[in-house]
Structures are given as C-alpha cells and as structure tokens.
Amino acid sequence: MNPPRTAIKTKRNKVTELWKRIRRLLIYVILIAVAFVYFTPFVYSILGSFMTDREVRAYPPTFLPSRFIPGEWSTLLDNYAEIWRAMHFLRWIFNSVLIAVSVTLANLFFASLAGYAFARLKFPGRDKFFTLLLGTMMIPGAVTMIPGYIIYARLGWLDTYYVLIIPALAQVFNIFLMRQFYQTIPEDLFDAARMDGCSLFGIFWRIMLPLSTPALAALAIYTFMGQWNNFMGPLLYMSDMDMWTIPLGITWIARETYFERYNIVLAGSMFNALPTLIVFILFQKYFIKGIALTGLK
Amino acid sequence: MSRYEKFKESFKGKKLRESLLGYAFVALPLTIFFAFSVGPIIFSVIVSFHKWGILTWKMDFVGLENYTKILKDRVFIVALKNTLLYTVVVVPSQTLIAMGLALLANQKIKGATFFKTTYFTPAVTSSVVISLIFFWLYMRKGLINFFLSFIGITGPNWLNATSPPNPNFALLAIMMMNIWSTSGYFMVTFLAGLQSIPEMFYEAARIDGASRWQRFRYITLPLLKPVTYFVVVLSVIGTLQIFDQVYVMTQGGPYYYSTTTVIYHIWNKAFNAFRMGYACAIAWVLFAIIFVATMVQKKLVKEAGVLY
C-alpha cells in the first residue's frame, strides 16, 4: 500500500472522528438541558412540599427546606400532617381509589371481551357497531356533558358513585385497543384451537387472555390514570364535598383553605401525583406499548 | 341472498352460537354506549334548539335563536380567539419540539431510556397538579422569573398581569406550560415511528452516497408523515378543548376573559348561568370547528400523498 495515501486517510478519519464526538457532545448537551427543564418543576415542588410558609415564598427562591437540617427533623412532615388532617381529605383519597380501581377492573373485563368479539367473532352488524363506536370518539366531551348532566340528574345519580363509574365501565378507547391487539394474533391459532374442540369462550379465556397480558397492562395503566386524574367529571357531577376526588379537592383547597400557602398545597398534590408516577416508573414499557398499539395502526 | 336472509342465516346451526356469543360480549359496552353517548348526543341537538334553564326543567322551543345569538356573544368571540391563538401557537411548537427531541434521542446514545422517561413524566401527572405547581412557579417572585432574571429579563406577574397594552401574559403562561407538559408524550410517539423505519433504507442510501441531511430529507421525513399527521390531529383536538388548566390557574381571567376558552365559556354558560340550550349550541359550534380542522388536515395530508 502507498504510505502517503494512508496518511491522508487517517488524517481525514481523525477529522470525522472529532466531528462525530462534537456532534455527540452537542446532542447530550441539548438532551440534558431539556431534561433539566423537565426535572426542575417536579424536584422543586417536592422540596417545596417540605418548606415553611416563609421559605416557599422567599425571593430569591430557597432550594433546601430548613426542615431537612437534622435538628429540625421533628417538623419534617408538618405540611403533610396538616393536609392529612384537613377536612374531607381522607374521604377524597378513598373516593379516588374506589372509582379508579373499580373502573379499571371493569374495563379489563368488559373491554377485552368486546375487543375480542369485534376482532374475532362473526355476528351480524359487527362492523357497523364498531364504526359507530369509533365515530362518536370524535365528538367532544363538551357536547355530551350538558345532556349527560340532565340525564344523571333525572336518574338521581348526581353526588353518587354511579355517575362516575357506570358510564365508564367499558370505554370505547379500550375496546379499540384490545381489538387492535387481538387482530395481531394469527387466525391460525384460533382455528387450530377450534379444531381441537375448544369452545369459543374457552379460546378467549385460555388462549387469548393469557396472550394479551401486555395489552391488558397498557389498558389498566391508561384507564387507572385517566380516572385518577379526571377533573371535569367530579367537577360537573359532584356538589357534595364528601363525594369529591383528590384533583377537585386540592383545587378547592388551593383556592380556599390554603390560599397562597403553596407548601401545604404542594404536599396535597403529592397524594395526587405520586401514585401515577410510581405506576409509570414500575411499568414504563407498557406505556410505550399502549402508544404503539393505538397510535401507529 | 337478501340482507334479511343473510341475517337469518347467521343464527342457524353452528353459526348461532358464535353470533349469540358475539352479542353477549358486546352487550354491556353497547348498552352503556347508547345510553351515555349516543343518547346524550341526540339529546344535545334537541336541547340546542330550546331555551332551558336547569332550575325549571322546562324547555321552550326557540328554533335557531341559540345559534344566531352566538355570533353576537362578545365573550364567545374572545373565547374563540383565545382558543384558536392557543392552538395555532401550541400545536406547531409541541410537534416540532417533540420531533426534534425524538430525532436526538433516536441516535445511538447512552441513557436514551432516561431521557424518554424524564420527558414523559408530565404526561402521567394530573393536569391539576401541573397547574398548581406552575401557579406557584409563575408567581411574580417565583422560580421562573428568578431564572429569567439571569438573562436580564424582569418577568411579569404572569397570571395576574394587568390589561392591555400589556401582552396577554396569562394566556402565554398557560401555552408555555402546555407545550412543556405534552411535548414529551408526543416525543415518545415520534420515537415509536422512527423505530419502525427499517434500518436497511438507511444502509441502502449510505451505499448510494447520500449525506446525513439527504437521508433525513428523503427517508426519515417522508416515512414520519403518518405519525406526524396522527400527532397533529391529536394535538389539535386536545388544544381546542383546553379547560382544566384555565379553571385551576386563572378562571378565565385575570382581566376581561383574557384566558377564557371555548370550553370554559360553555361550562360557565351551562353551570353558572344555567343556560343549557345556549351552551349546547356553542358545543356544537365547537364540534363543527374540530370537524372542519380534522377534515382540512386529512385533505392536506392526502394531497401530499402521505396516507397510504
């Protein structure tokens, strides 16, 4: 080989190598800067939930709550104790848990059954019903919220759990998600099971359901989160404070009882934010799964 | 075979079982769906042609009056302007940011999962909590203005700024907060799209001597169009219906309906002024706007030959 040529080549390689490194560094700088923008509000509000009234409103801002100093540890959880003792707060947590859990369980059952029927069972009108289901997803909630209110009022459901649970038992989005999933399971599997004499329900129960764990996990997570964070529902249908859920409760607390006492409000917010955050960190891959299933088909 | 015969056929012999089971499986969801979606939708059309105060339970037919009143409703015009401005600013910003972040995180770098998780966090947090946190951060003497002071900007009293000639700071504040909170979610959507592009396309282009820019321009961008379409449609539908953030942070204020959005106005008319018929009429106008926006996007996309 020709020595000078190699020299040129290695020089060029060195330049591109350097350029590659700079590019990579730049990407990291941008991604880390953005991560900082995303982290700061959360970390700062966790810190804020431990601050005293004075610290939470100090300027320039305080970052380390004085209660973190070893000698002050006895007062560390004062804000949390205060919000915990606040009127109705325990009841709001109970309501949120009850509604979110029951709606999630119901959707796991009913949406997977319906999704399976729409994907794999043949019955007259199947596709028409499904198109109708999807079609109404486009209509904004504002259209149904007023007649909905009137209907629930007539049924005597206002200020009861029914109003938030029964209409949400089988959500269209979940049926759609499960149908998409069951369609990805090869029909051969279905036919083979039938040949072997497995009943239609048996196919669903013994073959389809076990295969659909990832889709069910995505469904459970999204449903739970949607219910847990639901604000407008309780706002419209619950006037009795004992029937409120956490999002509605802390909004009221922030406006009335603890107006401008951000530390207490932040401590209350943690009870709303932490459960979903923990679920997210534990089951991350299913969140992405849900997006991939419904978004890209 | 006529349709009726076909229908009858599917209830005979072996098929009977499957048909009945199918109906059994969808019975409850469909009942709920007709009772609490289709029913209210039809009811809503009827109510929109009536004058109806919730306290009296009495409906008076007024024809198109509710709809003609909308155009003369000054607050509605302001609310519509706010909502459209909000959509026009937020949708392109979050789409571009989400796409940019996805492209960066899709490079073979360490810690991609970490970045993805971090950016996704606001998407799993309740809109109320995010609004309450930012209510605090947007204080006149709060964290955001503290950071702004580093670059020599004296930040306004974001959520309580006085009326014009000052810009509408409160609406801007809600816009920025929402760009922040939803970009991460759409970034993950874009990432899923990017990862579904077969690597061999890039390899083939590389062999043909395509530059990095050319590969982006002629492979990534065209193949990303369906995802982009999906993101834009979702984002438009979401932004046109913003409510929670306004309710928690500004309640439509701080001065003359400066952050009142269409949904907030509907809510206000229905549940504070108890004008149910009129509120339903506005809701249908909003539906028309969403419908037209979606159709226009679909058409644009079809003309560009994006949807296969």
B26-61 pLDDT tens trace = 999 999 999 998 999 999 999 999 988 766 667 888
Measured between CB atoms, does B107 come within 8 Å of chain A? Answer: yes
Chain A CB contacts of B43 below 8 Å: 147, 150-151
Report helix, strand or coil for B58: strand
Alpha helices by DSSP H, B143-273: 143-150, 169-195, 199-207, 212-215, 221-223, 225-239, 244-249, 262-271
Cβ-Cβ contacts under 8 Å for A60 (sequence gap 6 or more): B146
For residues A9-37, average pLDDT: 86
Position A90 scores a pLDDT of: 92
Nearest residue to A98 (alpha-carbon basis) of A285, A222, A244, A204? A244
Q: What are the residues facing B52 on neighbouring strands?
A: B59
Chain B CB contacts of A200 below 8 Å: 17-18, 21
Position B308 scores a pLDDT of: 39
Region of residue B250 (left: phi > 0; alpha: psi -120 to 50; beta: else): alpha
B94-129 pLDDT tens trace = 999 999 999 998 887 888 888 888 899 998 999 999
Which regions of chain A carry the CATH code 1.10.3720.10? 86-295
Interface contact flag, A35 B119, Cβ < 8 Å: yes
pTM for this predicted structure = 0.89
Has residue B5 got a pLDDT over 80? no
B177-203 pLDDT tens trace = 999 999 998 998 898 888 888 888 888
B17-27 pLDDT tens trace = 888 888 999 99
Single-letter code of the amino acid located at B180: W
Interface contact flag, B32 A170, Cβ < 8 Å: yes
Its CATH architecture, for the domain A86-295, is Orthogonal Bundle (1.10)
Q: What part of B 26-85 touches A (C-beta under 8 Å)? A: 26, 28-30, 32-33, 35-41, 43-44, 47, 54
Cβ-Cβ contacts under 8 Å for A175 (sequence gap 6 or more): A111, A114, A115, A118, A133, B29
Position B183 scores a pLDDT of: 93
Query: What number of helices (H) and strands (E) belong to chain B?
Result: 16, 2
Interface contact flag, A229 B43, Cβ < 8 Å: no
Chain B CB contacts of A227 below 8 Å: none
- Specify the range with the lowest mean pLDDT, choosing from A11-25, A115-129, A231-245, B68-82: A11-25
Rounded Cα distance, A158 and A238, in Å = 6
Rounded Cα distance, A198 and A211, in Å = 16
Has residue A218 got a pLDDT over 90? no
Position B285 scores a pLDDT of: 94
Q: Does ipTM top 0.90?
A: no
CA B47 to chain centre: 26
Which has the higher per-residue pLDDT, A17 or A294?
A17
**Highest mean predicted confidence (pLDDT) among A64-68, B86-90, B165-169, B288-292:** B86-90
**Structural domains of chain B sorted by starting position, each given as residue range(s) with its CATH number in brackets:** 3-47 (no CATH), 68-303 (1.10.3720.10)
Mutation for A interface: B3, B107, B128, most A CBs within 10 A: B128
Find the residue in B nearest to A139 (Cα). B287
